[in-house]
Amino acid sequence: MEEQKTPTLEELQALIEMTNTLNMEMFYWWCTALMICIHAGFLSYEIGASRLKNALAAGVKNILAFGFIVPSVFLLGWAVYNAFPDGLVPRMDALMAGMPWSQSMGPNIQDNATGIFWGAFALFAATTGSILSGAIIERARMSAFIIMTIVLGGFLWLLAAAWGWHPEGWLTVKWGYHDVGAAGVVHMIAGFFALGVLINLGARIGRFNADGSANAIVGHSMPMSVVGLMLIIVGFFGFLGGCIIYNSGAQWINIYGQPTNLSAFSFNTLMGFAGGLIGAYLTTREPYWMMSGGLVGIISVAPGLDLYHPGLAYLIGMGVSALAPLVNNLLLKFKLDDAVGAFAVHGFGGFAGLVISGIFLAGYPNVNGMPEISFFGQLGGAIVMAALGFIPGYAISYALKQAGMLRVPAHAEERGLDLTEVPAQAYPEWSSMYGSSTSVSGPAPTPLVGETKPA
């Protein structure tokens, strides 16, 4: 019988290190899989929030966003994240290391990290495209949306991440910016980009009357939208898992290198979600806003998921989500037709979360001698994220508008984007059974809280 050889200490150490590496890979693998639920959720929500004549077009936009953003992050976005932490001047070695021809950007048995982290970042990027998609349903050209979502998800979010989510990003190094759950670098970028687009895109036909009062345009399936929103919440546990660093053989750390753990994320994610449900329910009593309020609750506590007391997270989520429908109504005063409340949920929710974190987390120490968290650092970071989203969103959509490429013609909008942009019908038997369903509902006396559906 052959005698078994006792492994050496070096062999045991190598085995332990490889096990840790594989565990890290598996953790982010399943985080990425869960994040796909976010896109299944947006798909379901936006289809349900559209009228019958636009249902498939809303879904196709979400699918195309995924299809175009992922290769954009591969071709350029990953290099942007790694090369621009100092601002607008790139680190050329990091830029080259993130380009598609780099040895790390493909199968490499010596590199267990790059592909798995790139995958998580690509899914973050796709989330920004889905946020934009919901705001502009029922009147934007498919081609214009594809152009805008490539810029937003394939470039802008990665630049924001380089500045505020990179361990050496200038916002953190100079201002002590703290945003572990990506309220600014993902949600604000997408929300404020969408706001810039909405200004140039204009409202859906029939949304506003001559006197400025708003008509409610109702989606065709509330159950589909509510289920979609819950799927987004499920996916958020993958999203937030991807915001924490698996540190082999040691405690977890956040994106900035500070010690944390999944317990902190669990406490505050669930408490923020629960508080958000109640806050929006108290101000609207609507299922749409109640579920989106849960999402607002998570976004509003995202900057301090690693530090908040759970009771405080509940109150923050409740307060911010109670205000979000009012912010959406304020947009209506300016005749801005955000079809699903994307700015109120993601833009306002992220901005409020960052500013509030500057109040409650001020003075928390940073690592490596970097500035501690401060109110002005968080407020300044929020303003930077707002500008980085809004200015390009407005500029690109303005250029598309001037070129006649931003919006479908009025006759196509009246007929429905399913037939003019897809072309297909989601429910081809509906007209023969129930008649036309493309009309806009009658005017409401005054714009009421929750008269549009959020996402």
pLDDT at 436: 53
pLDDT at 452: 45
**With the C-alpha atoms ordered 239, 241, 244, 247, is the resulting torsion angle positive or negative?**
negative
The arrangement of secondary structure in 12-104+113-415, i.e. its CATH architecture, is Orthogonal Bundle (1.10)
Q: Are 66 and 235 in contact (CB under 8 A)?
A: no
pLDDT at 203: 95
Q: What is the DSSP letter of 144?
A: H
pLDDT at 3: 65
315 token code pair: 């109150």
Bridging pattern class, strands 253-254 and 244-245: antiparallel
Closest by CA position to 247, among listed 235, 261, 263: 261
CA quadruple 333, 286, 49, 407: dihedral, nearest 10: 10
SS3 content of the chain, % helix, strand, coil (to 5): 65, 0, 30
pLDDT at 435: 54
Residue 179: phi and psi, rounded to 5, are -150, 65
149 token code pair: 């979502």
Positions of the chain with pLDDT under 50: 437-455
Q: Are 192 and 343 in contact (CB under 8 A)?
A: yes
| Residue 330 neighbours by CB under 8 Å, 6+ apart | none
pLDDT at 76: 94
Q: Where are the domains of the chain?
A: 12-104+113-415
pLDDT at 251: 85
332-360 per-position pLDDT tens digit: 999 999 999 999 999 999 999 999 999 99
pLDDT at 180: 95
pTM, two decimals, is 0.91
Residue 166: phi and psi, rounded to 5, are -85, 140
pLDDT at 141: 96
Strand-pairing partners, residue 259, are 253
Strand-pairing partners, residue 443, are 215
Secondary structure of residue 306 in the 3-state scheme: coil
Distance in angstroms (rounded) separating the CA atoms of residues 103 and 107: 8
Q: What is the DSSP letter of 208?
A: B
pLDDT at 1: 52
